[in-house]
Chains A and B, each alone.
Chain A
């Protein structure tokens, strides 16, 4: 038994560990680089050894020799199980319904899990021009579930009204007479806790907080009148084993672990 205090857990470590646990029993995950890489790699070593990560660049079943720096990193291609063209990736894999969980990030999220990655302010003359959708519209419309990981939980990001809805969840699509394949956002993992919804017609609810975080703190950090689950769990903190795997096996060079 070690008697020295473990190195303080960083928010990247916390978010990666919590997200990795949510991947238990999932098979195909559509993920970007950064926190989703950490989460999926850790899940691969712990709760989901069968997991297959699909990247937006077209890579399926990567076996990288080094930690990738982008979704198009050369190390993801050498030794991969498949590399697909864009029409195959978006048309057949995503729109064909082969993705269990898609990972997305956003500048803004609302109570239904609709996302904004286009602009802060007015689209025509924005205060901040953000990168836009990329494949997020398709990930949301076609993955069976979507997990959102957001480092910052504050009322500007968790907003009552999106400045612009780039990436709609199924509720907005259905209101327009379009039937998307998936359930939309089912988990939002933040530095304060976990919000969840099971699918169409449900608002996000606070279902768990990290140790030391109160329900009121989360309510204040959320820009809408946040629904709270009947019993709010406390997220079990990262175990020593999870932290060791993350720090020593997944990201020893601390590329994404901050």
Chain B
């Protein structure tokens, strides 16, 4: 399926969309296609709301954000997000604030269709005062000292659609990820529908030669989209490196609403699809993000004689 078709089919106005990838394998190209198609009123669920979320907010796609870290990685601020939250400029943004493990537990509950998930966080924090979904319950079991124990719980999240980026999949959608694997698998299982964007589709035998590397089996995948370099400015381990210079540049671009609009006009609305965006950056640029080989040793799965 093409990115255009996948987004048109599964990302509807008003939907809850999870976009995951912890700094690694951020589905940027998918975010850009959502912007091109002009989706509105989305609830975006993403642990580390970063550049692509800032761009989607700036493009008017997002009315609600559910997140545990809203920053431009270690490279500064998200200008549009800050304007929206600090000054409701040009419009307010509803924001649900969690901690990282709070978000992880929401995906765990969602993926397992549990009513809640307990965690040893939030005791004494002001976060429950601004997020009524952080609730305290009494454990039905005594604590280690025999006493009654209080513990916070978070509700499940069940996105309408989860989008993740991965290194490779087979044609049926058995998806392999290596390096940082984050929360992608749980986010896919928590969703009604899942789009997996991959650097390449490989022969079935390639996947089946290393089944432990399959993070998302095909039964959880609704669409496989081939989109090389679709995680830029983030990276795909073994395929291309992170564009650290762009992360630093984004803090300056997004600080100025005019410059941000110009950037979107040139790089998102001004490109028909991600292949055009990749071409526009040019081969010299991509050569600068090229990585060398560091192959894993083969493992022996064995076969019955």
Residues on A close to B: CB < 8 A? 32-34, 56-59, 69-74, 77-79, 83, 85-87, 90-91, 94-95, 114, 118, 123-138, 141-142, 164-181
Contact = CB atoms under 8 A, between A and B. Distances in A.
Contacts of A138: 99-101, 119, 121
B183 interface: yes
B108 A87 contact: yes
Contact of A165 (B97, B125, B242): B125
Contact of A86 (B22, B71, B85): B22
Interface string B160-182: 00000000000000000001111
A173 B123 CA distance: 4
B100 A172 contact: no
Given A70-B73, A137-B127, A126 B181 contact: no
Given A114-B124, A135-B68, A165-B126, 7 more contacts: A57-B24, A86-B47, A91-B104, A134-B99, A174-B124, A176-B150, A179-B123
B126 A123 contact: yes
Contacts of A125: 86, 88
Given A131-B70, A132-B70, A86 B102 contact: no
Contacts of B237: 74, 77-78
Given A70-B242, A74-B179, A133 B22 contact: no
Q: How large is the interface on B (under 10, 10 to 19, 20 to 34, 35 or more residues)?
A: 35 or more
B180 A87 contact: no
Given A59-B180, A74-B235, A178-B152, A134 B124 contact: no
Contacts of B294: 78-79
Contact of B101 (A59, A128, A135): A135
Among A70, A126, A127, find the residue whose CB has the most chain B CB atoms closer than 10 A. A70
Contacts of A70: 23, 73-74, 242, 244
| Main DSSP-derived SS at the A contact region | loop
Contacts of A132: 67-71, 97, 99
B130 interface: yes
Contacts of A131: 69-71
A129 B120 contact: no
B68 A133 contact: yes
Contacts of B100: 56, 86, 90, 133-135, 137-138
10 contacts: A86-B104, A86-B186, A87-B104, A118-B126, A124-B130, A125-B86, A137-B102, A138-B121, A178-B136, A179-B123
B174 to A, nearest CB: 18
A166 B69 CA distance: 12
Contacts of A172: 123-125
B69 A85 contact: no
